Amino acid sequence: MDSKKIAVLLFGMCLIVPALSMETAAAVKVSPGELDHFVLKIPDRATAGENFIIRLEARDAYENIIVDYNRLGSIIRLTTSGKGKISPDLISPSDFFEGVAQIMATYDKAEAITITATEEATKKAVSGKIVISPGPVDHFFLTAPSQITAGQKFQLKIEALDMYENRVVDYNLKHTGVEISTLLISGEKGRLYPATVPASNFSDGIAVVELVYEKTGSIILSVVDAVEKAGGKTTPIQVLPGEAKRFVILLPDRLTAGKPFTAQIKVYDAFDNLVTNYDKVGKGVNVNPQGQGKISPEEVPASSFVNGIATVNFTYTRAEVINPVVTEKTVKEIKVPEKEIKPPVVEEKPKEKPKVEEKKPKAKEEKPKKEEKPKKETKPPAAEEKPKEETKPVLVEEKIETKPVEEKPKEKPAAVADSKAEARNCYDRAVKNIGQRKYKEAKEELERCLSLDPENSEARRLLDRVNIILRLESGK
């Protein structure tokens, strides 16, 4: 065989051998191994109550996805480290496609949590962290006292919450503020201020504001967002009256001297609320008739008031125009001097007794003991206590003593000069103005009366009373 034939034969054999080897090599599929672990993928942040995606992959030890996990796997339970509820909390093998499950989940509490997926059969688990933010404001939770006092400040706590009771900590960044109003249960409609709270007052979703309400009764406070219209209400709040600031006495149109008549005394606070609890918190009142006669009783105890009104039977002894003034008792002025005077009296007696005992052995006579004057000098301090205990009666005595002084000017007008007659006319006009509660005009007439008749003590006393009334009115 020549070399050319041998070369052709060898070339043909080279072509045949690869063809034979290709026919003998078969394709082999390599399947993933057994479940070794899961891979959990979740977002960094989500909003309470809103959907977020949980992606769960089943893998073997070589990070191969177990594509047939839907056939071979078991139930997977989802748990969290937080106080809220995750939904759904179970993932079925049928939820896996090609070894991957993608679940739409929700969580209802605003907090940072760890989500854990655990296969119940093998207890293999995987975890991931996520921060749940609060949702949009849904309502407000209000905290207020059950009782407040009219005209005095009280605190209202306002918490902005989403629909899952999570505090909306960024309320001050996304909103303008709230409006506050009152719902009247009983009593008279009053003024509430302030009526708005800007969003800048909120910190971490909470605002604490000081409010004032002026009328007594029972109310409910209502808060509404200025834009979103999310709202909230308090439980009923009882509004108590403030301290007594003004007394009003209501008299019959006509009275007869010495004959009993019925009058009402009403006590009001600074906002014209009847002080309905005056019988418990008050001190009682003094009644000054502002006349020349005597009114009885002059004092009305606090216990006589029922719901801020005392109905009293009075008598008055003189026929004239009167305009009684009611003032609250001042007990403090009487108690203080008594405490200051009594100790000196007790201290002086023991000091003098030893002095007398020292003289006994020197004199040996009993006469000097009787003639000693120092003992008599110790008596005046005890006597000085009596007028101080009688501070209230003293005021009454002054009123009684003024009667003869005041009666004298009444006898003089018949024979006085023109200036005194004009002074008397001024006085009469002043009395008429007082009866009409025109105190400023009455003051002018009385001042003119005194300029014409400086010795008119009756006009001077009445002017003093008018000045007191004007000061009381200006102090309201």
Tokens representing residue 296 in the block: 């009885």
Last residue of a domain, one of 240, 275, 291: 240
Interval 114-149: pLDDT, tens: 999 999 999 999 999 999 999 999 999 999 999 999
- Which residues form the domain of 219? 139-240
The answer on 192 and 165 residing in a single domain is: yes
Identify whether 116 is part of a domain: yes
The answer on 117 and 41 residing in a single domain is: yes
The answer on 156 and 129 residing in a single domain is: no
Whether 401 contacts 393, CB under 8 Å: no
The CATH number of residue 308's host domain is 2.60.40
The answer on 175 and 102 residing in a single domain is: no
Strands 154-161, 206-213: pairing kind? antiparallel
The pLDDT value recorded for residue 11 is 56
pLDDT at 336 over 60: no
Tokens representing residue 288 in the block: 């000054």
- Nearest-angstrom CA–CA distance, 117 and 75: 10
Q: For residues 361, 366, 368 and 371, what is the CA-based torsion angle, rounded to 10 degrees?
A: 150
pLDDT at 221 over 90: yes
Specify the number of domains making up the chain.
5
Last residue of a domain, one of 133, 155, 184: 133
Interval 152-190: pLDDT, tens: 999 999 999 999 999 999 999 999 999 999 999 999 999
The answer on 426 and 381 residing in a single domain is: no
pLDDT at 401 over 60: no
Identify whether 27 is part of a domain: no
Identify whether 171 is part of a domain: yes
Identify whether 86 is part of a domain: yes
Identify whether 99 is part of a domain: yes
Lowest mean pLDDT among 46-50, 111-115, 235-239, 377-381: 377-381
- Nearest-angstrom CA–CA distance, 186 and 200: 33
Closest by Cα among 122, 90, 104, 123 to 50: 104
Q: How confident is the model at residue 430 (pLDDT cuts 50, 70, 90)?
A: confident
Tokens representing residue 256 in the block: 């007869």
Q: How confident is the model at residue 348 (pLDDT cuts 50, 70, 90)?
A: very low
Identify whether 202 is part of a domain: yes
Phi, psi of 435, deg, nearest 5? -60, -30
Tokens representing residue 128 in the block: 């991931």
The CATH number of residue 154's host domain is 2.60.40.10
Identify whether 316 is part of a domain: yes
| Nearest-10 crossing angle of helices 391-411, 379-389 | 70
Whether 108 contacts 48, CB under 8 Å: yes
The answer on 222 and 143 residing in a single domain is: yes
The answer on 428 and 377 residing in a single domain is: no
The answer on 143 and 68 residing in a single domain is: no
The answer on 236 and 143 residing in a single domain is: yes
Percent of the chain with pLDDT over 90: 61
Q: How confident is the model at residue 364 (pLDDT cuts 50, 70, 90)?
A: very low
Identify whether 356 is part of a domain: no
- Nearest-angstrom CA–CA distance, 113 and 53: 15
Whether 287 contacts 297, CB under 8 Å: yes
The CATH number of residue 430's host domain is 1.25.40
The answer on 145 and 127 residing in a single domain is: no
Q: How confident is the model at residue 5 (pLDDT cuts 50, 70, 90)?
A: low
The pLDDT value recorded for residue 260 is 95
Last residue of a domain, one of 216, 240, 264: 240
The answer on 290 and 220 residing in a single domain is: no
- In the predicted model, what is the mean pLDDT of residues 212-220? 97
The answer on 156 and 235 residing in a single domain is: yes
Phi, psi of 237, deg, nearest 5? -120, 130
Q: How confident is the model at residue 424 (pLDDT cuts 50, 70, 90)?
A: confident
